[in-house]
């Protein structure tokens, strides 16, 4: 098992491993999205208070979950990279950043779309919304550091420190509705002891959550493969790979 993990940390081995997984994950992703959207947009009943406008949660909630999940994962990559200097962690964090930023933007955009008819405004400086906006800026800051500093190792160390410092924002996002007065509704999905959402709505929401995670892994592996080729382009195995594909 340890030997397998050690090999997986090699960019060359990871490149082949990821390439074998991507087609299968992409197919699973399409199936999950088709099932989740059909159940959520067609089968699930209308909400007695919000009508059909509540259906935006099937995109908003998973994207909000993923915005936090991806950042925490990037912070873990940063810690591993700084402590054990595993080359692959920098590749995975760099590949994850635009995906996480996209999830965060989608969560903010869909939240604003839902907030207009529910709250009467596109935006309020609510604790949950503000901390989620800060998360978006943290993603952009990581990307900016990676591109602004010419030396790749120096850029990675600076960006890693930003990730580790910024991770304090994640519990603030999660618990903001409990710590402060906020317009954002409190937790409904995680209250399994006293459910606040009907099973007919919960099942498609959970399917969409899994679909978003599979989507993230699929895109992450694809982007990581491209990043590996860029960083390892001077190595013999990449040059041999390019020559073999040209034949």
Please give the chain's pLDDT, 247 residues, in tens. Answer: 545 455 667 888 999 999 999 999 999 999 999 999 999 999 999 887 787 888 999 999 999 999 999 999 999 999 999 998 888 999 999 999 999 999 999 999 999 998 888 777 888 888 888 999 999 999 999 999 999 999 999 999 999 999 999 999 999 988 876 666 665 566 655 554 555 688 899 999 999 999 999 999 999 999 999 999 999 988 888 888 877 876 5
Residue 150 CB partners (closer than 8 Å, separation 6+): none
CA–CA dist 243, 247 (Å, integer)? 7
- Residue 56 near residue 114 (C-beta atoms within 8 A): yes
Residue 91 CB partners (closer than 8 Å, separation 6+): 11, 224, 227, 228, 231
- Residue 176 near residue 127 (C-beta atoms within 8 A): yes
Tally the residues of the chain: 247
CA–CA dist 206, 43 (Å, integer)? 15
CA–CA dist 54, 197 (Å, integer)? 11
């Amino acid at each position: 098992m340890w030997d397998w993990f050690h090999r997986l940390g090699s960019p060359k081995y990871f490149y082949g491993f990821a390439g074998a997984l991507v087609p299968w994950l992409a197919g699973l992703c399409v199936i999950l999205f088709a099932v989740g959207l059909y159940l959520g947009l067609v089968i699930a009943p209308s909400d007695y208070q919000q009508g059909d406008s509540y259906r935006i949660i099937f995109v908003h909630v998973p994207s909000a979950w993923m915005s936090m999940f991806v950042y925490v994962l990037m912070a873990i990559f940063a810690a591993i990279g700084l402590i054990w200097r595993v080359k692959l962690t920098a590749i995975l964090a760099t590949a994850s950043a635009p995906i996480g930023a996209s999830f965060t933007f989608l969560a903010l955009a869909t939240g604003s779309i839902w907030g207009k008819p529910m709250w009467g405004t596109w935006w309020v400086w609510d604790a949950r919304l503000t901390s989620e906006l800060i998360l978006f800026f943290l993603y952009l800051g990581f990307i900016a550091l990676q591109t602004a500093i010419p030396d790749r190792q120096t850029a990675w160390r600076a960006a890693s420190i930003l990730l580790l410092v910024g991770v304090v924002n994640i519990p603030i996002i999660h618990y903001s509705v409990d710590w402060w007065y906020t317009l954002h509704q409190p937790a409904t999905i995680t209250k399994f002891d006293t459910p606040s959402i009907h099973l007919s709505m919960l099942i498609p929401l959970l399917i969409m959550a899994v679909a978003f995670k599979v989507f993230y892994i699929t895109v992450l592996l694809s982007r990581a493969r491209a990043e590996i080729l860029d960083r390892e382009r001077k190595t013999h195995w990449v040059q041999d790979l390019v020559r073999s594909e040209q034949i």
